[in-house]
Amino acid sequence: MSRGDREYRELMRPVLEGVRVIELAGIGPTPFCGMMLADHGAEVIRIDRPGGSDPLSQDQERDVLLRSRRTITLDLKEPESVEIVARLVETADGLIEGFRPGVVERLGLGPDAMMQRNRTLVYGRMTGWGQSGPLSALAGHDLNYISMSGCLAALGPEDRPPAPPLNLIGDYGGGGMLLAFGFVSALLAARTDGRGRVIDCAMADGSAALMAGMWSLKHNGMWDGERGENLLDGGAPFYACYECADGRFVAIGAIEAKFYSRFLEAVGLSGDPLFSAQHDRSKWPAMKERLSALFASAARSKWVAKLKPIDCCFTEVLTMDDAIGHEHNRVRESYCEADGFVQPRPAPRFERTTPVRPRMWRRDADREDLLAEIGAADPLRAISDRESSGAGH
C-alpha cells in the first residue's frame, strides 16, 4: 500500500475507531448512548444479563438500539463474571452503565474499583435523577424525569393534559445523547491529562438543559402564556400542525416575516386584516380557526402542490413508514437496512469518513472471542463445576 493510500484510508476511518467501551446492559438511554458510539466506530462490548435486560421482553435481536455491538452474557451476581468485566475494563477507554446509584458498587464494578484498575477510564453513569439529591434512589421513567424539569408542562394542547413526547426528551435527547457527548468530552480530557473522569448524567438535568431556548424566550417576554398559547408550543397559528380533508396532516413553521408573507400569499390570505399583525396574540385563536377550516377544505396533496414549491417552511407530517419513501430521505439515504430490519442511518455524518454499516445484535455472539482475548475461562463452566461439586456432599 502506498503512502497516499495509507493516508487516504486513515482519513476515511470512522471518527471513534480505536475506542473501546464496555456497556453494562440496560434499557433506554444507556443503549442509545452505546448505539451512538458504535455508529461512529467505537468498539462497544455489551455485557448482557441472563434472560435479557428488557422488562418488556421484546425480541432484543430486533432492537435497533443494540446494533453494531460485540456481546457477551454474564451473570454479575457471580464473582467469576464480575472479574471478567473488570479485566475487560482494563483494556477499555470507558464504561457506561444505567443502574440506580449504589448498584454497581455492590456488584464490585463501581467507578472507584474500576479506576484503580484503569486510571484513564471514562466512567459514564446514566440515571433519571442523578447520583445525588432527595429523588436519586427512586424509580422513574422518561415521563417522570421530564415532568420535574418544566419540560412536560409545556407540551400538548391547552385543553388537554400534557402530552408525552414519546421518550425522546428524557431517554434519548437529554439522556443517551448527552451521555455520548459527555463520554467523548471526558475521553478528550483523559487523553490530555492522563486521568479518567466519572460522568454523572441525569435525564432530569438533561431535559432541563434542552429547555434553555425556552428560558431565553421567557426572559424576553415571548413565553409567558399557558401551554398551547406560546410561540413554539402550537399556540402560534404560523407554527402549528393542521389536518387536511383526507385526515392527513401538514406542518407550518413560517416564523420569519418573509416566510409568513409567502405562506399567506400562497393560501390567498395576504390581504386579510385578521392576519396582518403576525404576532398579535389576541388574534391567534381566530387565525388558527380560519387556517384549520382552510386546510380541512382540501386533501393534503393539494397543499403540497401549492406550498412545497414556494419555500415557506411547509412540510407534510409523515409517519415512520412514509418517511422511508420520501424523496429527500431516499436521496440522502437517511434510512438503511441491517439484517432485514429497516432503521435510521447513523448520524451525524462526517466528511471524508466511511460510515459504519449497522449490524443487528446477536446474543452472546462474541463470547468465545472476548474470553480468549483476556485469557479467561468461561464462568458458566466454573459455576457448573462448583454446583456439581456441591451436589456431591
Q: Would you say 22 and 162 are in contact if contact means Cβ atoms under 8 Å apart?
A: no
Nearest-5° Cα angle at 171, 365 to 242: 120
Catalytic entry in 54, 142, 171, 205: 171
Is 171 a residue of the active site? Answer: yes
Name residue 242's beta-bridge partners. Answer: 250
Is 40 a residue of the active site? Answer: no
Catalytic entry in 141, 200, 326, 366: 141
* Cell 435481536 found at: 61
Shortest CA distance to 238 belongs to which of 273, 271, 262? Answer: 262
Q: In this structure, how many other beta carbons lie within 10 angstroms of the beta carbon of residue 51?
A: 9
Contacts of 314 (CB under 8 A, 6+ apart): 250, 251, 252, 253, 254, 263, 303, 307, 308
Q: In this structure, how many other beta carbons lie within 10 angstroms of the beta carbon of residue 215?
A: 12
CB-count exposure of residue 238 (10 Å: 0-12, 13-18, 19+): buried
Q: What is the CA radius of gyration of the chain?
A: 26
How far from 183 is each of 212, 310, 392, CA to CA, in Å?
21, 42, 49
Q: How far apart are CA 203 and CA 141, in angstroms?
A: 9
Q: Would you say 363 and 71 are in contact if contact means Cβ atoms under 8 Å apart?
A: yes
Which residues are marked as active site?
141, 171
